[in-house]
Structure 1
Amino acid sequence: MKDVAARAGVGLKTVSRVVNGEPGVTPDTERRVRDAITALGFRRNDSARILRKGRTSSIGLVLEDLADPFYAPLSRAVEEVARAHETLLINGSSAEDPEREEELALALCARRVDGLVIIPASDDHRYLEPEIEAGIATVFVDRPASRIDADAVLSDNYGGARAAVAHLVAHGHRRIGLIGDQVRIHTAAERLRGYHDAMAEAGLPADPSWVSMGSTDPDRVRAALAGMLHGPEPVTALFAGNNRVTVTAVRHLATAERRFALIGFDDFELADLLSPGITVIAQDPVALGRTAAETLFRRLDGHHDAPKRVEIPTRLIARGSGELPPE
């Protein structure tokens, strides 16, 4: 910093203000300091900054699966908010494994991140209590925390599922199937609840053979769908509980002798280019990520009010597959 100050003809405090984005420097002086920084190849000493401010200017993001297209825009939104706060984002994937989630979260805490954004896989987050008490801000996104009170930013999974089933009912369907993820997962449980309530509100039975919750492995989904389509009371429409289930269903239904109505929860690439286009309940992953990150930085800025739950609306996008009448 002394070399930068000498080259720019300013004091050390002025260089510090420019480097740390503090006010009180004229545009001409800031330009001279930045020119000197560029010429000398100066790099800020983050270790000293950490000791002085007690912050590392880094946050962690624990996702379910980095390869899932749903999480890419969510991660990008968190990164953009972090960048606006001059903060580095470090992320990792839990692969829906509670032990892996805990391992990742605690590893990030050990590296002294200022805060965490977590898409949870665990059903017990008490392991984070010491870290939160030590000052690491934590926000959960997509699913709430379990067994601790913490900020959460969620989609309206229940409302979205109700809207999907109501849409199928409005187009004449009375035997509507649901293939969803594992019930222990909050989003899957909420979508199942929305399905049952929508069927009840329409005065329709929800035969147990029309509902299959479990792994999204394609073989399991295909087997469940085949049972629903060829059972004693075959369904005429399907509500797919997430994008992985929807994609498997589209492939299976492409070879079916009859056309079946289909609505999927989560949009996915090329859904609008199929024939018919796939009707979906679309979440807003960008809003989820941005809201979660903004909530995190609000906590880092010193807001200590009670944890809040924010719910982001979903929307139904009609493209044709959900509007097919029963055959």
Structure 2
Amino acid sequence: MNDVAAEAGVALKTVSRVVNHEPGVNTATAERVQAAIDRLGYRRNDGARTLRQGRTASIGLVIEDVADPFYSGLSRAVEDIALGHDYLVFTGSSGESPTRERDLVLAFCARRVDGLIIVPAGDDHEYLTPEVDAGIAAVFADRPPGTGPEADTVLCDNTGGSRAGVHHLIAHGHRRIAYVGDSPSIFTAAERLEGYRQALSAAGLPYDEGLVAMGPVDQGRVQADVERLLNSPDPPTALFTGNGRTTVASLRAFASFGPGGRRLGEPHGADVALVGFDDFELADLLKITVVAQDPVGLGRTAAELLFQRLSGDEDAPRRVELPTRLIDRGSGEVRPGA
């Protein structure tokens, strides 16, 4: 900045006013300063400026997997809100590892982020207590925190959404409905299983553990479970899948049955109905009925709560639950034996 002042023949304070868009500099002088800035290639040191203000103008975002379209939508929403506040976002994927979640959070804290948005991979967040006590704001998204500091939490209605999806299948005449979901240790998977059970109970249908298949979302596991369920002596007439990746893996499993095999979720000629939790790309073209979450709304709400905290909001921690909506496209409207 001293070099710019010397080049333009003005005081250092005048350069500071031009750089920070402050009033008090006449047009001709401002143009001379800007010309000197352009010639010298000067760039304002935002890091030093924000540090003088006692902040870094950055937040950390820890999600499960940046490659998952659900978390891509959430991340983009957080970025949009952050950019509106002139903040940068550092993002990392935990891969469902509590250890990696902890390491990422503490790495962000070591870089003095002003706040954190965390999709928890574990249920022990005591490690975060010293950081929150030191002034770092934290918000949990998609899943609630376990032990540790109280913080704002933004969830979707996992139980209610699952209940609505299974009820939709029951309303179309299905009585043997399988649930294929993620690992039961994951909060969202457990909540969706609970919604499945509630819908069966409300319809007077028994809960059959033989119709439930949960585990890691990889093609081999889902493929084996779908084949086992549909090749059983008394197979289900419908599937409810617990998230978008499980739905896609199930569709691939059905493709392996080949011509003349079991057909999934086709409006005409199908023999197995399907409703999936989570909308996903091409679901509309494939005519897949889904219970849609709002990942963008989830990220936006979490970011807005975080920036309220960064602005001095000291109200009691909030728990916000966003609604889901059922989108019927054909695969969930297939009746048994159609």
TM-score normalised by structure 2 residue count:
0.89
Tell me if structure 1 keeps the 8 A contact 2:272–2:334.
yes
User: In the comparison of the two structures, how many residue pairs are matched?
Assistant: 324
Superposition RMSD in Å: 2.2
1:237 corresponds to:
238
CA shift, 1:71, in A, is 1.1
Structural mapping, 1:247-262, within 5 Å: 247-254=248-255, 255=257, 256-258=261-263, 259-262=271-274
Cα distance 1:9–1:318, how it changes in 2: closer, same or farther (>3 A)?
farther
Cα distance 1:47–1:272, how it changes in 2: closer, same or farther (>3 A)?
closer
CA shift, 1:19, in A, is 4.3
In 2, Cα distance between the equivalents of 1:111 and 1:316?
A: 42
Tell me if structure 1 keeps the 8 A contact 2:184–2:190.
yes
Matched residue of 1:117: which SS? strand
2:334 corresponds to:
324
Amino acid paired to 2:241:
A
Deviation per CA, 1:179-225: give whole Å up to 9, x if none: 11111111111101111011111111121111122211222212222
Tell me if structure 1 keeps the 8 A contact 2:154–2:298.
yes
Tell me if structure 1 keeps the 8 A contact 2:222–2:253.
no
Cα distance 1:173–1:56, how it changes in 2: closer, same or farther (>3 A)?
same
Deviation per CA, 1:215-243: give whole Å up to 9, x if none: 11222212222222222331100000011
In 2, Cα distance between the equivalents of 1:244 and 1:9?
A: 62
CA shift, 1:17, in A, is 5.2
Deviation per CA, 1:227-284: give whole Å up to 9, x if none: 222223311000000111101111222323352000111111111222xx11111111
Cα distance 1:272–1:13, how it changes in 2: closer, same or farther (>3 A)?
same
Asked which structure has the greater CA Rg, the reply is: 2
Structural mapping, 1:88-99, within 5 Å: 88-99=88-99
CA shift, 1:66, in A, is 1.0
In 1, Cα distance between the equivalents of 2:193 and 2:29?
A: 58
Tell me if structure 2 keeps the 8 A contact 1:18–1:30.
no
Cα distance 1:171–1:34, how it changes in 2: closer, same or farther (>3 A)?
farther
In 2, Cα distance between the equivalents of 1:184 and 1:233?
A: 28
Cα distance 1:123–1:30, how it changes in 2: closer, same or farther (>3 A)?
farther
User: Which is further off, 221-230 or 141-150?
Assistant: 221-230
In 2, Cα distance between the equivalents of 1:273 and 1:120?
A: 33
Amino acid paired to 1:292:
A
1:228 corresponds to:
229
CA shift, 1:46, in A, is 3.4
Cα distance 1:306–1:38, how it changes in 2: closer, same or farther (>3 A)?
farther
Match of 2:305 among 295, 316, 320: 295
Cα distance 1:205–1:58, how it changes in 2: closer, same or farther (>3 A)?
same
CA shift, 1:27, in A, is 10
Match of 1:306 among 316, 333, 336: 316
Matched residue of 1:323: which SS? coil
2:291 corresponds to:
281
Matched residue of 2:253: which SS? helix
Cα distance 1:251–1:24, how it changes in 2: closer, same or farther (>3 A)?
same
Deviation per CA, 1:289-311: give whole Å up to 9, x if none: 11111111111111111111111
Verify: 1:184 aligned to 2:189, yes or no: no
Cα distance 1:324–1:26, how it changes in 2: closer, same or farther (>3 A)?
farther
CA shift, 1:2, in A, is 4.1
The percent of aligned pairs where both chains have the same amino acid is: 62
In 2, Cα distance between the equivalents of 1:17 and 1:145?
A: 45
In 1, Cα distance between the equivalents of 2:28 and 2:317?
A: 43
In 1, Cα distance between the equivalents of 2:318 and 2:78?
A: 18
1:169 corresponds to:
170
CA shift, 1:42, in A, is 2.1
CA shift, 1:15, in A, is 4.7
In 2, Cα distance between the equivalents of 1:27 and 1:294?
A: 38
CA shift, 1:45, in A, is 2.2
Verify: 1:268 aligned to 2:273, yes or no: no
